[in-house]
Chain A
Amino acid sequence: EAQVTQNPRYLITVTGKKLTVTCSQNMNHEYMSWYRQDPGLGLRQIYYSMNVEVTDKGDVPEGYKVSRKEKRNFPLILESPSPNQTSLYFCASSFSPSGTFYEQYFGPGTRLTVT
């Protein structure tokens, strides 16, 4: 089954404790992206990757890191989480975001709480 998976689905952590949220897709997509969803703000892009070893900042990259060492994986790293990073996080992938639109497939989401 074609899908985007994220782990963990739920995470409660404390300020300053490094964490990684994993994202994996099995569709051989070049493009992957991370969004955060906050009430009243919709979804905002954190980082994106056009292909392996190619990443760039989205609208709200502060406090986050990403890496793209393999085509299928795109982990989101919070090196020193803070309470304002409490949010619902979505990973997405597609064949390519530009030109003719290819549908972006979204993962099920990771709900992160930082206390």
Chain B
Amino acid sequence: GDSVTQMEGPVTLSEEAFLTINCTYTATGYPSLFWYVQYPGEGLQLLLKATKADDKGSNKGFEATYRKETTSFHLEKGSVQVSDSAVYFCALINQAGTALIFGKGTTLSVSS
């Protein structure tokens, strides 16, 4: 079945450092891919998405490119801020279109 694998955390960075969180997927066809962010004590928010191969999703300085050759959707940001500290989830929509399939989440902690 469909699955998402993302790098284990926690990831600890200093402010202004470069961020990469790796995400790979297994799925039938080419599903839409997403990154969600969960700030402490809150629900999940959609951070960015890509609906087809080679699409680049971007938002709030974060970017991710849909790579079908490597079945990957890595999240990057050039300069992280303390306010980016959160849990990040990579996800895809299942083939039936009835559920998001999530990775296990990566905790990011940014210190000043």
- Residue positions of A touching B, CB distance < 8 A: 4, 33, 35, 40-45, 48, 50, 56, 58-59, 90, 92, 97-101, 103-104, 106-109
B residues near A (Cβ < 8 Å) are 4, 32, 34, 36, 41-46, 49, 51, 89, 93, 96-100, 102-105
Assembly CA distance A6 to B30 (angstroms): 33
A108–B41 CA distance with the chains assembled, in angstroms: 8
Q: Is the CB of B49 within 8 A of A101?
A: yes
A48 touches B43 (CB 8 A): no
With contacts A90-B44, A106-B45, A108-B42 taken as known, whether A98 is within 8 angstroms of B98 at the C-beta atoms is yes
In the complex, chain A residues whose CB is within 8 Å of the CB of B34? 101
| Also in contact, A97 and B99, with CB within 8 A (given A40-B104, A42-B104, A43-B89) | yes
Closest to A103 in B: B46
- Cβ contact within 8 Å between B98 and A56: yes
Residue of B34, B36, B43 with most chain A CB atoms under a 10 A cut-off: B43
Contacts of B97 in A (CB 8 A): 97-99
Nearest chain A CB to B52 CB, angstrom units: 11
Tell me whether B98 and A43 are in contact (CB under 8 A).
no
B43: chain A residues at CB < 8 Å are 4, 90, 106-109
Q: Is the CB of B104 within 8 A of A59?
A: no
Chain B hits for A107, CB < 8 A? 43
From A42, A100, A108, contact of B102 by CB (8 A) = A42
Residue with the highest number of chain B CB atoms closer than 10 Å, among A44, A45, A56: A45
**Known contacts A101-B51, A101-B93; is-contact A42 B105 (Cβ 8 Å):** yes
